[in-house]
Amino acid sequence: MMLNCPRCGQSIQQSAIACPRCRTPLKAHGHPGIVLHRATGAESLCKSCLYDADDTCNYPQRPDARECTMYHDVTIPIVSTPQRYETSPGVWIRRNAGWIALVMLIILSFGLALSRR
């Protein structure tokens, strides 16, 4: 199957990673698993892209990208799995068993010391 270069319209091999005519990188075409985001309205993708907002993008097409494989909608946060086990008291006690034992020992020895007076 032949595709056309999004920049110059040159017909290109599906496996091509760059346009043979204008050298536009075509990674999304060569790697079908990667989503190539396309601007639908008049605004460039960068306007609503997280990597433009946090200034981490160094793509040359920024800030006027209309097609981009790296685009991430700024309104959708990058999902971070909450570390639930950190907050579970059972696990906290097991993890800090050494310290808990030490604190109890100190309290106990204080108690003993006081009761002997």
Tell me which residues touch ligand SF4 (CB under 6 A): 45-46, 49, 51-52, 57, 59, 61-62, 65, 68, 70-71
Interface with Zn ion, residue 5, by CB under 5 A: yes
Question: Nearest approach, Cβ of 26 to ligand SF4 (angstroms)?
Answer: 15
- Which residue's CB is nearer to ligand SF4, number 31 or number 95? 31
Among candidate residues 32, 33, 36, the one with its CA nearest the CA of residue 24: 36
Question: Nearest approach, Cβ of 35 to Zn ion (angstroms)?
Answer: 20
32 near 12, Cβ under 8 Å?
no
- Asked whether the CA dihedral 41, 43, 45, 47 is positive or negative, the reply is negative
